[in-house]
Amino acid sequence: MHVPPFTVTTNSKINLGLRVLGRRPDGFHDIESIFVAINLGDTITVTASDDLTVECYPSVTQEPEQNIVHRAACLYAERFPNDRCGAKITVNKRIPTGAGLGGGSGDAAATLLAMAHLNGRPMSDQTRQLLEPLAAACGSDVPFFLHSGVALVTGRGELVTPIDVPLPWTILVVCPGIHVNTALAYSTLGITSAQPSPGLRGKLIHAIDNKSINATLFENDFERAVFPQYPVLADIKQRLSDAGAAFASMSGSGSSLYGLFDDATKAAEAAEALADLQTYICAPVTASFRLT
């Protein structure tokens, strides 16, 4: 079966609240967060080939084999040894790296789906279920990107419960170009054990219905660990609020921050107020990936 070259446009995500509940026996941490997929994405071009090669522009690892895209393709080949697993994969990065936006995780999920497409598997729920164990093996946030949309994410990030709700906000993402060490952020949290928040899905629906978010219900635990190290991030969060954001927060372990705005005009005005920083005006997305 001949499949012509194709391109997959990926998504990134923001965290609407992020609680770290405690350290697990496997060394990871249990988390609880609402992930929201947004249309800030990379593009991945796939061409059938005899061998597997990965090129990334700009490069994010010292060696191509260290890229999570290469790891995802290799995991697919191990799981489906009878499939066509040779491909030339070219990643053109737009999502800032080390920003808490899940760019690498989204690329890995897209690669798994792209390898499936290369072998005639449709981008269906059945295919996604087939790939979920591979996604979890790639990284904690990768399973979410097989689905995207809005979801309650728990466990170490591999347990994804989709929430079928439309978000009424335009999202302004601000990337200050600071690389936050995620392992260090976890180590400085000082969390031993915490309980999940009851009814988080219902609280989100209530917030959407009222177009108003109670900030105390959707706190990001990492802010208390990261903001003291990088006070400028707290300043940016305040600037987003001052610019009219209905809610502002850090995404993941940072360093990106975002504000939710009632409409695109307000988001554009806020972007102008933050013109000294890299900003992206984004919208929530419900589809996992766009394939062309």
List beta partners, residue 56.
91
CB 18 within 8 A of CB 220: yes
Q: If phi over 0 gives left and psi between -120 and 50 gives alpha, with beta otherwise, what is residue 252?
A: left
CB 248 within 8 A of CB 259: yes
Q: Residue 128: what are its φ and ψ, rounded to 5°?
A: -60, -40
SS3 of 56, please? Answer: strand
Q: What are the structure tokens assigned to 170, written together?
A: 């335009």
Q: What kind and span of H or E run contains 13?
A: strand 12-23
Q: What are the structure tokens assigned to 188, written together?
A: 């400085």
Q: What are the structure tokens assigned to 56, written together?
A: 């990334």
In 3D space, the residue among 168, 172, 169 whose CA is nearest the CA of residue 236 turns out to be 172
In 3D space, the residue among 265, 264, 229 whose CA is nearest the CA of residue 250 turns out to be 229
Clarify whether 209 is annotated catalytic: no
Out of 13, 93, 237, 266, pick the active-site residue: 13
Q: What are the structure tokens assigned to 154, written together?
A: 């728990």
The residue whose two tokens read 């728990």 is 154
Task: Say how far apart CA 282 and CA 284 lie, in whole Å.
Answer: 7
Clarify whether 203 is annotated catalytic: no
Quick one: the chain helix, strand, coil %, rounded to 5? 35, 25, 40
Out of 30, 141, 221, 237, pick the active-site residue: 141
Annotated active-site positions, please? 13, 141
